[in-house]
Chain A
Amino acid sequence: MSTQKLKEIIKQVLPDVETVICWQEGYDKLNVTPIFITSPEQVDQVVWNPLCAQNLASYLPSQKKKVAVAVKGCDSRTIVQYMQEGLIDRNNVVIIGIPCKGTVSKKKVQKAIGNEPVEEVTFTDGSIKVKTPSGEKTLALADVCPTKCTSCQFPTPIVYDQLTADAIKSDKPPESVYADVAELEGKTLEERKAYFASQFDKCIRCYACRNACPMCVCQDSCIAETRDPHWITQKNSLDEKVMFHMIHALHLAGRCVECGECERVCPMEIPVAKLKKKINKEMKDLFDYTPGVNPEDKPPMYTFNVDEAKIKEHKL
Chain B
Amino acid sequence: MADKGYLPKEKIKEFVEALGKDAAVYAPCLEGDTIIFRQYTADKEISLDRPANTPPKGAIYPQCETLLSFEFKKDAATPQKMDVELKANTDFPKAVVFGGRPCDAKGFTVIDRVFVNTDTADPYYKKRRENTTIITKCCNSPYAGCFCVGVGGGPASREGSDVVMTEVDGGYYLEAVTEKGKAVMSLSMIQDGSSYEAKAKQANEKATGAVRNPFPADARISPELFDSGDFWGRVVDKCVSCGACTFLCPTCYCFNITDEQAITTGERIRSWDSCMFQHFTLETSGHNPRPAKYKRFRNRVGHKFSYYPEKYDGAIACTGCGRCIRYCPVSVDISEIVGYLKDPKADPKQWAADKKDAKN
Interface residues of A (CB under 8 A from B): 18, 26-28, 30-34, 36, 38-39, 54, 58-59, 107, 110-111, 114-118, 133, 198-199, 202, 204-208, 210-212, 219-220, 225, 227, 233-237, 261, 264-265, 267-269
Q: Which of A33, A199, A220, A268 is B36 in contact with, Cβ under 8 Å?
A: A268
Chain B residue at minimum C-beta to C-beta distance from A25: B331
Measured CA separation A18–B237 after assembly (Å): 13
- The CA of A265 and the CA of B36, in the complex, are separated in Å by 17
Contacts of A27 in B (CB 8 A): 144-145, 325, 331, 333, 335-336
Which chain B residue lies CB-closest to A133?
B141
11 contacts between A and B (CB under 8 A): A38-B355, A204-B54, A205-B63, A206-B244, A206-B247, A207-B242, A208-B240, A212-B329, A234-B269, A265-B329, A267-B248
Residues on B lying within 8 angstroms of A by beta carbon are: 31-34, 36, 49-50, 53-54, 63-64, 141-145, 234, 237-238, 240-244, 246-248, 256, 258, 260, 269, 271, 274, 277-279, 323, 325, 327, 329-333, 335-336, 353-356
Residues of A contacting B36 in the complex (Cβ-Cβ under 8 angstroms): 202, 268
**Known: A115-B49, A204-B63, A235-B64. Contact between A38 and B279, CB under 8 A?**
no
Say yes or no: B278 contacts A118, CB within 8 Å.
no
Note all chain B residues with C-beta closer than 8 A to A28.
Answer: 144-145
Q: What separation, in Å, do the CA atoms of A117 and B146 have in the docked complex?
A: 10
Complex CA gap A236/B33 in Å reads 21
A30 touches B144 (CB 8 A): yes
Are B247 and A269 touching (Cβ within 8 A)? no
What DSSP secondary structure best describes chain B's contact surface?
A: loop
**Known interface pairs A204-B247, A206-B247; A267-B53 also in contact (CB < 8 Å):** yes
Q: Is the CB of A212 within 8 A of B34?
A: no
- Chain B residues with Cβ below 8 Å from A114 are 49
B258 touches A39 (CB 8 A): no
CA distance A34 to B234 in the complex (A): 11
Contact B144 A118, beta carbon cutoff 8 Å: yes
* Shortest distance between the CB of A114 and any CB in chain B (Å): 8
Closest beta carbon of chain B to A306's beta carbon, Å:
39
A34 contacts B238, C-beta separation under 8 Å: yes
The answer to whether B242 touches A208, judged by C-beta atoms less than 8 angstroms apart, is: yes
B260:A235 contact, CB within 8 angstroms: yes
A167–B50 CA distance with the chains assembled, in angstroms: 42
Query: Do B258 and A208 touch (CB < 8 A)?
Result: no
Task: Please report the C-alpha to C-alpha distance between residue A265 and residue B278 in the assembled complex, in whole angstroms.
Answer: 20
**What's the nearest-Cβ distance from chain A to residue B44, in Å?**
13
Chain B residues closer than 8 Å to A204, beta-carbon distance? 54, 63, 247-248
Instruction: Evaluate contact between B53 and A26: CB separation under 8 angstroms.
Output: no
- Nearest to B240 among chain A residues (CB) is A211
Please, which residue of chain B has its CB at the minimum distance from the CB of A209?
B242
Other than the known A234-B260, A235-B271, A268-B36, what 8 A-B pairs have Cβ atoms closer than 8 Å? A27-B331, A116-B141, A211-B329, A212-B329, A235-B64, A265-B330, A269-B32, A269-B53
CA distance A220 to B291 in the complex (A): 11
**Residues on the B chain within 8 Å of A219, using CB:** 278
Beta-carbon nearest neighbor of A116 in chain B:
B141
A234 with B248: CB separation less than 8 A: no
Interface centre among A30, A118, A208, A265 (most CB of B within 10 A): A208
Nearest CB in chain A to that of B266: its residue: A233
Q: How far is the CA of A236 from the CA of B54 in the complex (A)?
A: 15
| B181 nearest CB across to chain A (Å) | 28
Contact of A210 among B64, B145, B242, B331 (CB under 8 A): B242
The chain A residue with its CB closest to the CB of B257 is A234
Residues of B contacting A38 in the complex (Cβ-Cβ under 8 angstroms):
354-356
Q: Which residues of chain B come closer than 8 Å to A32, judged between CB atoms?
A: 331
Query: How far, in whole Å, are A30 and B331 apart by their CA atoms in the complex?
Result: 11
A115 shortest CB reach to chain B, Å: 4
**Interface contact A234-B329, CB-CB below 8 Å:** no
Shortest A29–chain B CB gap in Å is 10
Q: How far is the CB of B231 from chain A (nearest CB, A)?
A: 14
| A36 to B332 CA separation, bound complex (whole angstroms) | 13
B333 touches A206 (CB 8 A): no
Q: A27-B145, A202-B36, A269-B34 are in contact. Are A233 and B258 (CB under 8 A)?
A: yes
Smallest beta-carbon distance A139→chain B, Å: 16
Complex contact B144–A234 (CB within 8 A): no
